[in-house]
Amino acid sequence: MTNQCTFALWQAAYAERGIATFPVRANKVPAIRGYQKIGLTGSQQLACKFADADALGFMCGPRSKVTVLDIDSSSDVVLGHAIARHGITPILVRTASGKYHAYYRHNGERRRIRPFRDLPIDIFGGGLVVAPPSKTAHGCYEFIGGSLDELDHLPVMQPFDEPGEPSATNGRGDNDTAGPLRGMRDHDGRNKTLFLTIAPIANQIHATGGSRDSLLTIAGTDDDARGYENC
């Protein structure tokens, strides 16, 4: 399916997977009232009225059966820590601001904003999420791992409620957007740093029976790692 986003086109695609979507404006505000209660029939009717809308959203939680891990950082290190904590999933989304969403099968999670002190993440067990391939005022949402075809095969998010894990920020509360491999070359500790960066992800993939391709999909979000073989 084309990545061009019109609400009418993608409403049908999401509806085929049992997810009722609604149109969203460029500022990420729903274009209708009562969007929280929209069902599949109402969603289909909206597709006629808002056929040219450039963005769409859906409700996380019991209605869509999807929980979204909102990773409020563009750092590959933060992404790796978040996935290592909560489990590998086939669907990863890059948001309009260059940050990340990871999709999981809803398992009773509630909406939690900044539940952990050491990671800039939110857990959307409820509430609105803007869906790919929406186009907003700040850019586009896009699948960088998986597609709608994986919605029926989402894993349950692994819970993590214990504080005190090593921080994935730089100590000032800012995100380390540069990544630990930036500027490093072979023979100056790069191999070890690369290993430490993806080890939590690799361990989680192994524990859940994932594949090498799953690891490469997530590791590939790091520009430095992608260029490693050329150093």
Greater confidence (209 vs 76) lies with 76
The single residue listed with the structure tokens 């690891």 is 215
Closest Cα to residue 158, out of 111, 224, 204? 204
Residue 10, pLDDT > 50, answer yes
Q: Alpha helices, DSSP H only, in the chain?
A: 7-16, 40-49, 76-86, 190-207, 212-219, 223-226
Residue 48, pLDDT > 50, answer yes
The single residue listed with the structure tokens 């929406």 is 134
Confidence of residue 214 (pLDDT cuts 50, 70, 90): low
32 φψ region: left (φ > 0), alpha (ψ -120 to 50), beta (else): beta
66 Cβ neighbours under 8 A, 6+ residues apart: 19, 58, 60, 103, 104, 105, 106, 151, 154
φ/ψ of 135, rounded to 5, equals -115, 120
- pTM metric for this prediction: 0.70
Count of C-beta atoms within a 10 Å radius of residue 140: 16
Confidence of residue 104 (pLDDT cuts 50, 70, 90): very high
